[in-house]
Structure 1
Amino acid sequence: MKFVFDHNNINVLDLEKSLAFYQKALGLKEIRRHESDSFTLVYLGDGVHAHQLELTWLKDRNEPYELGDNESHIAFTVDNFEAAHALHEKMGCICFENPEMGIYFIHDPDDYWLEIIPSRS
């Protein structure tokens, strides 16, 4: 028996705002969508890996999600760390930097943290 990663899920308050953020900040594109009366699921991909990020939008939700201490995160590697940092700085979404480790974090419109790591090739 072998298990393989398929996707991660996060809930978002404003689907269009989140889609725009993930497109601009990380270049993710919508792969597929499932709509129902009460929710919408949008799967995003990077065009390279099969792994996807699922955004869940609950149509009747109006209050922000409680993220606790926000210790969980999703990590992305990037081939041009300096250009990515400049883009995220311009977007105003950098929320924490760790120069000693050579990484930084950005946060999305719902305050989920996303780790940015330089490619180590």
Structure 2
Amino acid sequence: MTIAKKLLHTRYRVNDLERTVKFYREILGLEETRRHKSSRGSELAFMKAPESEELIELCYFPGSGPVEVQPDLTHLAFEVDSLEEFGKHLASKGYKYSDGPHMRPEGGGIAFVDAPEGYEIELIERAK
């Protein structure tokens, strides 16, 4: 039987590739693994979280018009050690949580920050 075996990457189209790559690198700590231009003319940058195999493909394709992200359309979720410490990191870079943090009585919690173009990034602190 032929099946899809493994998630390789997810694409997010963006208005400003350099600004978005900088956000993912400096705010989230992701690494840019490669960059190239597709046969259709899209500029692509691939980003990877340190402990993940899957990539995020950031795509700049101005020919399809501006990106307008609807509220609650999609988000990426990343695990962090501490929402409190990550919030301090955000503040040092001029950002803040757009929602939360919401801590659970049993430990752990979630918070959100908006990436360029309005894509939501969920941060999850697991209970210890």
Whether these two folds match at TM > 0.5 is yes
Native 8 Å contact 1:40 1:59 kept in 2: no
Provide the C-alpha distance between the structure 1 equivalents of 2:18 and 2:120, rounded to a whole number of angstroms: 18
- Show structure 1 runs of 5+ residues with no match: none
Tell me what 2:46 maps to. 43
Provide the C-alpha distance between the structure 2 equivalents of 1:9 and 1:93, rounded to a whole number of angstroms: 25
Q: CA deviation at 1:80?
A: 3.2
- Deviation by residue 1:55-77 (Cα, 9 ceiling, x = unmatched): 001144663x2222324211000
1:97 aligns with 2:100: yes
TM, length-normalised to structure 2: 0.80
Letter in 2 for 1:96: D
- Deviation by residue 1:54-112 (Cα, 9 ceiling, x = unmatched): 1001144663x222232421100012332211112342242111524421100111110
TM, length-normalised to structure 1: 0.84
Letter in 2 for 1:40: E
Tell me what 2:76 maps to. 74
1:25 corresponds to which of 27, 44, 52: 27
Provide the C-alpha distance between the structure 1 equivalents of 2:4 and 2:117, rounded to a whole number of angstroms: 33
Identity of aligned residues (%): 27
Provide the C-alpha distance between the structure 2 equivalents of 1:93 and 1:53, rounded to a whole number of angstroms: 22
Secondary structure of the residue aligned to 2:117 is: coil
1:118 aligns with 2:120: no
Aligned residues: 120
Tell me what 1:12 maps to. 14
Tell me what 1:109 maps to. 116
Letter in 1 for 2:116: P
Letter in 1 for 2:9: H
Larger Rg: 2
Q: Which moved more, 1:106-115 or 1:1-10?
A: 1-10
Q: 1:8 to 1:78 in 2, by over 3 A?
A: same
Tell me what 2:55 maps to. 52
